[in-house]
């Protein structure tokens, strides 16, 4: 399996870091680093996350990492990281992929 990170997911990670950095610079790095490493677990366990039937027939899933949700899609031999949010964020505009 190969991990592919979308531009939106990368932007989400940068946005989260930029939001935290002014108020808690040390916490920003401490929180963002595990989020950036999380997809590596999916290489061995791609179906680790809960499947989101809303996106059938696509294989869109989500995993919870602390207070954050990461959505990803399994397509053949690729795991595509779609989006990343804090649990309290308004996700109405965050359509996967």
Helix (H, G, I), strand (E, B) or coil at 35: helix
Q: Of 95, 90, 78, which is closest to residue 5 (Cα–Cα)? A: 78
Mean pLDDT of 55-80: 95
Contact 77, 1 (CB under 8 A): yes
pTM: 0.85
Q: Per-residue pLDDT tens for 45-65?
A: 999 999 999 999 999 999 999
Confidence of residue 93 (pLDDT cuts 50, 70, 90): low
What is the total count of domains within the chain? 1
Identify whether 95 is part of a domain: no
Long-range contacts of 53-58 (CB under 8 A, 24+ apart): 55/96, 58/97
Q: What is the C-alpha to C-alpha distance for residues 68 and 20, in angstroms, rounded to an integer?
A: 14
**Does the pLDDT of residue 97 top 90, yes or no?**
no
Which range of residues forms the domain containing residue 82?
2-86
Residue 62: CATH number of its domain: 3.30.2310.20
**Is 57 contained in some domain?**
yes
Q: Strand, coil or helix: what is 25?
A: helix
């Amino acid at each position: 399996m190969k991990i592919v990170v979308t531009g939106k997911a990368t932007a989400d990670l940068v946005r989260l870091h930029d939001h935290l950095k002014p108020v808690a610079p040390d916490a920003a790095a401490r929180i963002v680093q595990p989020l950036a490493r999380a997809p590596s677990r999916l290489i061995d366990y791609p179906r680790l996350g809960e499947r989101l039937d809303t996106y059938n027939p696509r294989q869109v899933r989500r995993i919870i990492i602390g207070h954050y949700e990461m959505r990803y899609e399994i397509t053949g031999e690729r795991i595509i990281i779609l989006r990343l949010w804090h649990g309290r964020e308004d996700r109405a505009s965050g359509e996967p992929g």
